[in-house]
A and B are shown apart, each in its own frame.
Chain A
């Protein structure tokens, strides 16, 4: 079973978690000033990268907290997890991991 490292509780089985979409998306300060296309882009368009992806997860059946994760969408490996108010850390596993 895939283990996900909750920043609060430590490594836990994936069945305790729910996915929360792409991370670090800032809501436009003044939505009324946007064109329909720009607003639709904020609402619906996501990066969907092949490779490293910063995304939100929630430890729904644990501490209940949202946090962010760096995940490789090709290998499904969780490279790092961090709290919502933190900047993405360097990956803890994989070729980019610090020695």
Chain B
């Protein structure tokens, strides 16, 4: 399904769509307010952007340095060229440890690789432990936002779900009550898991350590109780130096949710005594994106979600309307690189207003890349149904006489034709929009009457 079709589906529930829009705008507003308390905010964005530029320019050598140091620290390093290989590597580790149940904290990468269904098919129970992710997992849905996975759901729906799955009181919609019920449910899972899986926010080449940020503490609860920690990391997550974290930790949470820092920022350098630590470095289309000069900057993304919260389209169409692992503006420039045909409508799901680029903590030129992808897609897939009307319009605009005649005809026709004919499926512009009231005369006629 295309983005417009999915968005129309989302907009059917108008009250919920309005709530979604306002709630994300509230998060955007929190980001604005906290960023303005930091006088050097724009300077931090510039530095973050420059550091990431340097990372992309030297990605190969930083990856080798990271690997070398990580191995020295006692970490097992694996490389995966695509999602399938990543999934097999994770399964191999689990099978080596005879593990059939894991706990997992948030990792967009594993969503991208479709790890959960793969593991489940191979007899492994996967429990997502971030509250929002657990909620959507129990509903058999993917996250609809990379930072706020269950933002498309209302507390009534979550209350009903928890009543069914966790035996909470029927009708109790209190978020504190529901969260504490999930705490008890997931505590058991943490205590029982032999292997815990996490994503990675930043990998440090200089030290071979990596950093995982959460507010709930779920990543740490999982990995410190388990015998084995598997961390899955996209190859673009590298930072050169430990001190670069100072820049990125200042930007990440403020951009994401408007809080000054995530509550838990864990730096993993080597396994605890008697335990095992694995890291899987994953390409899955990243080197291909790096080779696209116009689009390689999309790899600077630190997955804060600020571009989603600000986007007038995302807020009014919901995460699922994009049909891609990473939705919103950044997803719309990443996803066509993975499958241009499947995601051909995404770069058009934008007003090109540029708000996404304005809030991006690493200064990715998101709206310019959206525009560039439109060119690429039109070149490859044709005019997307607008070819005929553009060809007619070109003919009319070329001839003054044709312009005059058709203008007069339209002014009359719009007044007398029934709506069913004007708002015909062929008139894509008229979908969800009213045509302007037709003026009585053309500008030329008006000018001759009043000014000549």
- Whether both chains belong to one complex is answered with no
On B, residues with C-beta under 8 Å from A are: none
